[in-house]
Amino acid sequence: MDIQKPTLILNPTIVQRNIARMAAKARQNGVAFRPHFKTHQSADIGNWFKTEGVTAITVSSVSMATYFAAHGWRDITIAFPVNWLEIAAINALAAQIDLHLVLESVETAQFLQANLQHPVNIWLKIDSGYGRTGIVWENATQVLAVGNAVTAADKLRLHGILTHSGQTYQVKRNPQAIQTLYADVLKRMQHVQHALLQHGMADIKISIGDTPSCSVVTDFSGVDEIRPGNFVFYDMTQVRIGSCDVADVGVVVACPVVAKHPERNVLIVYGGAVHLSRDYDALPDGTPYYGRVVLPAENGWSAPLPETYVKSISQEHGIIHTTPDILARINVGDVLCILPIHSCLTADMLKRYQTPDGVTYAMMPGIYG
């Protein structure tokens, strides 16, 4: 690998295997597969999904929807509450694609009815226990009020109910706990579905989206659609949860070694918060860390080095704890690779992929500039 500065390295074999496995699971369960593209944000990687028959996708912003629409995707869900201030861009999208929006209030339904120029599909955002956003699943009064507001609007087509059960991210290597959480979420979503059906709202679909559930659960009876995103790359958080094994992590950050401190068993790499993000997790003994360290190899990278991890970061610096034996083998000018804690944020920071054999893939342009 020709590395001069922090570089996001992607292993196509692992990534394509992850895509094929999740697509096969969806087919076997007879559910729609609408993967979330916020993790990879790349038209090139998006094409790998097309080979698995994927025709509908999820994104996290209007800007991301615009990018993927420009690359040929014609069925897109923006799984983020409608931002009223982007109505012009929403109208532009609705004119050219089958656009799905999520909402959780009567006010937003009324705003869309008054300001949309083209019909859109609507999913009611349900809080099934995560506590981030959405109508709380037990609040039947609000669910029915928003559902009625949508069905009364001729520019809005009520498609179903959608949730992200982010509470599964708190699990520690316990697939059975993920199964239990998923079963609770499904019951809550079916409770909401039943309430809407009882009040005359027909064909209410259920869409779920967290990677831990989609990775571990094998039976999706009662669900119509799955929307996982992080599974495309996975990361060390997903390893800790039990969603995957280390061998399923499809990206690393290659970082040049710039200093050694044998007296502290520490290596310094060019690779800090602006490359890895500030997300961290904990080792089995509770020690916080910002990524595990692997060595570059001809077709990818090695298994994680024992007792070697990113112990702290600042803006550009990564401070790596290691053993005396490993430290003696590493020189200034070498390259180490970091398995990320959260691949979605890490990819968003670096904005470009390189394969071990030097092929590059672009991501969508930054949305804040």
Tell how far CA 25 is from the center of its chain: 18
Q: Are residues 139 and 274 in the same domain?
A: no
Per the structure block, which two tokens stand in for 359? Answer: 């092929």
For helices 106-115 and 87-94, what crossing angle results, to 10°? Answer: 60
The number of domains in the chain is 2
Predicted structure pTM score? 0.96
How would you label 47-64 residue by residue, b for 16+ Cβ within 10 Å and e otherwise?
ebbeebebebbbbbbbbb
Whether 198 is in a domain gets the answer yes
Per the structure block, which two tokens stand in for 191? Answer: 């409770």
Whether 353 is in a domain gets the answer yes
Look up residue 85 and give its DSSP letter: G
Of 146, 152, 87, nearest to 117 (Cα)? Answer: 87
Q: What is d(CA 123, CA 230) in angstroms, rounded to the nearest whole number?
A: 21
Q: Are residues 227 and 259 in the same domain?
A: no
Q: Are residues 102 and 208 in the same domain?
A: yes
Which residue type does 264 have?
A: R
Sign of CA dihedral 321, 325, 328, 330: negative
Instruction: Name residues whose C-beta falls within 8 Å of residue 176's C-beta, 6 or more positions apart in sequence.
Output: none
Per the structure block, which two tokens stand in for 111? Answer: 């705003």
CATH number at residue 345: 2.40.37.20
- Looking at 234, 268, 297, which one is the last position of a domain? 234
Whether 197 is in a domain gets the answer yes
pLDDT at 369: 34
H-type helices in the chain, by residue range? 12-29, 43-50, 62-70, 87-94, 106-115, 140-151, 175-198, 211-216, 236-241, 273-276, 324-329, 343-350
Q: What is d(CA 57, CA 125) in angstroms, rounded to the nearest whole number?
A: 17
Whether 244 is in a domain gets the answer no
Q: Are residues 50 and 170 in the same domain?
A: yes
Provide the 10 A C-beta neighbour count for residue 203. 10
Domain that residue 120 falls in: 31-234
For helices 87-94 and 62-70, what crossing angle results, to 10°? Answer: 30
CATH number at residue 161: 3.20.20.10
Whether 298 is in a domain gets the answer yes
Whether 143 is in a domain gets the answer yes
Whether 240 is in a domain gets the answer no
Start-to-end Cα distance in the chain: 30
Per residue of the chain (369 residues), give pLDDT as tens. Answer: 789 999 999 999 999 999 999 999 999 999 999 999 999 999 999 999 999 999 999 999 999 999 999 999 999 999 999 999 999 999 999 999 999 999 999 999 999 999 999 999 999 999 999 999 999 999 999 999 999 999 999 999 999 999 999 888 888 778 899 999 999 999 999 999 999 999 999 999 999 999 999 999 999 999 999 999 999 999 999 999 999 999 999 999 999 999 999 999 999 999 999 999 999 999 989 999 999 999 999 889 999 999 999 999 999 999 999 999 999 999 999 999 999 999 999 999 999 999 999 999 999 987 543
Q: Are residues 134 and 224 in the same domain?
A: yes
Q: Are residues 230 and 258 in the same domain?
A: no
pLDDT at 367: 55
- How does DSSP assign 157-183, residue by residue? EEEEEE---GGGGG--S-HHHHHHHHH
Per the structure block, which two tokens stand in for 166? Answer: 């982010």
Dmax (CA) for the chain in angstroms is 72
Q: What is d(CA 237, CA 171) in angstroms, rounded to the nearest whole number?
A: 10
Q: Are residues 181 and 324 in the same domain?
A: no
pLDDT at 288: 96
Contact 106, 145 (CB under 8 A): yes
- Looking at 234, 263, 283, which one is the last position of a domain? 234
